[in-house]
Structure 1
């Protein structure tokens, strides 16, 4: 059993769409979970229709949504304070050293982050790479296991089947609650989450099938 799990993603809502089911599962087992969120997603394009925010107000809206989601998941939250869409330009070594210090304080047995180069968004790739580098820099005897999440459309062609496939259907309600906490972002292609109970059975089954499993690769530090 894990002793403490740390999740490292760059944006508010990454945790909910990406790993909320696993986080809820760990919490149900009494395992502490900490989310290190890189930015406040202040460069997000979704300002609503009609408009509900601007560049000045969006960060506070997304911050409050992030806090709400973490409360729903019963996880600790640390906000790293980087600027949205700029993590790729941060000094990778400095970010890694900062994360290493946090991890050495928390002493997790598992870190969940994005798989570099297979996570679509530059922030995902950059923070995932820094998180993995942070763990690599740790004393090998103290290193936590790393679960890296790939989300590009063709990742399995290059990486093969994921090492960890967690069925989180039991916690789908909690995952949905976390997703819906990010109200400003649950629109467009994700708008169906807001009316899940109103969808026909086939559409609902497809959504649950797509989001009812969370997939990760175990990072090998000898490669």
Structure 2
């Protein structure tokens, strides 16, 4: 059983779309979970039609949504303070050292992050790479396991089948609640799914199939 889990993703809503069920499972088992969120997603494109936000107000809206999601998922939150859509331009070593300092304090047995080069968004790839380097910089005796999440269309063709496939059917409703707590972003993408129970049964089945499994690869360090 894990002693502590740390989730490292760059944006508010990455945690809910990517690992909400896994997080809920760990919390049900009594395992503490901390989310290290890279940015406030302040460059998000969805500001409504008509607009409900502007560039000045969107960060606070997304922060409030993130706090709500973390409450639903019953996990702690630490904001890393980076700027949205600029993580790829940060010095990866400096970001890794920043993350290592936090990991040394939290002493997780498991870190969950994005799989570099197979996570679609440049911020995903950059922070995933920094997280993996941060763990590599740790003393091997204290190094946690890393689960890396790939989400590109071709990841299975290149990487093979994931090592971990979590069936999170029992947490589906709570996962959807966490996703929709990020209303400024999820409403546009998944607005039609907001009331899943009112949709046709075949549509319900498709949604549950898409969101009821979470996949990860164990990162293999060579030293």
Matched, 1:84 2:64: no
Corresponding position of 2:129: 129
Corresponding position of 2:98: 98
Matched, 1:155 2:155: yes
Say whether the 8 Å CA contact 1:112–1:146 is kept in structure 2.
yes
Instruction: Give the Cα separation in 2 of the matches to 1:29 and 1:128.
Output: 26
Corresponding position of 2:22: 22
Q: TM-score, normalised on structure 2?
A: 0.98
Say whether the 8 Å CA contact 1:8–1:37 is kept in structure 2.
yes
Say whether the 8 Å CA contact 2:113–2:149 is kept in structure 1.
yes
Q: TM-score, normalised on structure 1?
A: 0.98
Instruction: Give the Cα separation in 2 of the matches to 1:111 and 1:197.
Output: 34
**Unmatched 5+ stretches in structure 2:** none
Write out aligned runs for 1:3-22 (5 A). 3-22=3-22
Instruction: Give the Cα separation in 2 of the matches to 1:192 and 1:142.
Output: 45
Instruction: Give the Cα separation in 2 of the matches to 1:143 and 1:111.
Output: 10
Say whether the 8 Å CA contact 1:176–1:193 is kept in structure 2.
no
Instruction: Give the Cα separation in 2 of the matches to 1:192 and 1:21.
Output: 21
Say whether the 8 Å CA contact 2:8–2:131 is kept in structure 1.
yes
Write out aligned runs for 1:1-223 (5 A). 1-222=1-222
The CA deviation at 1:189 is 3.2
Instruction: Give the Cα separation in 2 of the matches to 1:110 and 1:133.
Output: 14
Larger mean Cα displacement after TM superposition, 36-45 or 190-199: 190-199
Instruction: Give the Cα separation in 2 of the matches to 1:155 and 1:29.
Output: 30
Instruction: Give the Cα separation in 2 of the matches to 1:187 and 1:80.
Output: 26
| Cα-to-partner distance string for 1:173-213 (whole Å, 9 max, x where unaligned) | 11111111101011333223312122111111111111100
| Cα-to-partner distance string for 1:144-182 (whole Å, 9 max, x where unaligned) | 000000000010000000000000000111111111110
SS of the equivalent of 2:102 reads helix
| Cα-to-partner distance string for 1:32-53 (whole Å, 9 max, x where unaligned) | 0000000000000000112100
Aligned pairs, number: 223
